Amino acid sequence: MKLKFILLFSIGIFLHSTVVFAQPLDKSPFPKGIYSTLDDLIAVNPSEAIEFTKVQGYNSKTYILKYPNNKRIKKPFAVSDGVDLYINSKQVKKLIEGRGKGMQGAIGNTYNKVLVGNRLFFYFEDYFASVGSKFMGGLSGVYTTYLCGVIFDTTKRKTSVFRKPKDINAFFSEHRADIHVDLPNRKLIIDETRNLMIDFFNLSETPIFF
């Protein structure tokens, strides 16, 4: 069975010519509103229902959210418009564990849109910069930017960043021991990560919300 999944995932990566995320349910699992804390989000207990606007943040994967009076939404853990869920980039990245902890994530008070998820996990994507050696007499650092898949575990309250196959295999070994990705030791292409996550959620017994 394990070999079957290795082949399925290795081949399946290259068969996805178009990525289609799960469509939201007719009734949003997270009603419109502000979720001030992670506990509020897990309990599906918005503190208030609000209208808000969004504009692109510091990169194409982040958003700046604003109240109707144009004041920025900064502190809530998550915000829902009744269809999509946006989680606070800074707060969720404070919970990064493993290899991704040393990578610098989003700047400022921005939000990431959950691309696929259920009650247990939220998957989104963002750019990270790993800091390399210094050059020119130490006046400047070398930064390499990566677009990575990120998954937030609501039960264990931790965030995992998928930069290389061993990162995603570490996640699978904890949550789906029958799955192993057989890929070279290199940076993951975002389509590979995305397709693997879609398959992971489709195999889950927990209903997909996004």
18 pLDDT above the threshold of 60: no
| SS3 label, residue 110 | coil
Mean pLDDT confidence for 30-44: 93
Residue 84 — very low, low, confident or very high, per pLDDT cuts 50/70/90?
Answer: very high
Contact 206, 120 (CB under 8 A): yes
Say which residue the tokens 């009076």 belong to: 69
Helix locations, 85-151, DSSP H: 89-93
For a pLDDT cut of 70, what percent of the chain falls above it? 74
Mean pLDDT confidence for 113-118: 94
Contact 86, 65 (CB under 8 A): yes
Name 53's bridge partners. Answer: 66
Contact 78, 45 (CB under 8 A): no
Contact 85, 42 (CB under 8 A): no
Rounded Cα distance, 86 and 124, in Å: 10
| Residue (of 54, 111, 83, 86) closest to 209 by Cα position | 83
Mean pLDDT confidence for 180-186: 90
Query: What pLDDT was estimated at residue 93?
Result: 87
Backbone dihedral region for residue 94 (phi beyond 0: left; psi -120 to 50: alpha; all else: beta) = alpha
The one-letter code for the residue type at 77 is F
